[in-house]
Amino acid sequence: MALTKEQKNKKVEKLEQAIAKQKAMVFVNFSGLKIKDLEELREKLNQAGAKIIITKKTLASIAFKQQKLELGKDELGNELAIVFAFEDEIAPAKAVYEFSKINESLKIIGGYMENERTGAEEMICLAQLPSKQQLYAGLVGSLLAPISNFVNVQRQNIKGLFYAFNAIIEKNS
């Protein structure tokens, strides 16, 4: 069923609003993906603070031109969906990447990070990075390690002294 001009304008407007609010975008080709799998992906993306919009390449290119961004329609494949990251820049790419490992029908074909066009390889590399929480935990662990080690060394000295006193008491008893 063909869309009316009014419906197309609404879709373009919706895309423009999402492009204006986004922190990052991931372009995916979902050709061959089942509807139940697409709904599962939608749920995972909602948990990651992202939204997926399925669109036609021509409508997407109009919205991108109006936001002064380049879409590159030729390299996008058959079925186009755009994942918009509104909170965390990497979490949606990570969710799409993890989902694409399970469902080979879903393919990352590029995206935008900080309004810079990136290729599929770059988006996959970004998706393989640890999350912000993991990086923060590693940083805190690295900062606390010297203090923790110092406390353990001091504890061992006191423990050794305690064992020596117990040995002396047992020997004299």
Report the distance separating Cα 87 and Cα 55, nearest Å. 22
* CATH topology assigned to domain 5-129: Alpha-Beta Plaits (3.30.70)
Q: What is the pTM of this model?
A: 0.73
* 34-64 residue pLDDT tens: 889 889 989 988 888 889 988 888 888 888 8
**Domain layout of the chain by residue ranges:** 5-129, 131-173
* 72-86 residue pLDDT tens: 766 666 778 899 988
Percent of the chain with pLDDT over 70: 95
Those residues whose C-beta lies under 8 Å from the C-beta of residue 4, and which sit 6 or more positions away, are none
Report the distance separating Cα 82 and Cα 40, nearest Å. 16
Q: Which residue has the tokens 């869309």?
A: 3
Those residues whose C-beta lies under 8 Å from the C-beta of residue 49, and which sit 6 or more positions away, are 85, 86, 87, 88, 91, 92
Report the distance separating Cα 15 and Cα 137, nearest Å. 36
Q: Phi and psi of 55, rounded to 5°?
A: -150, 165
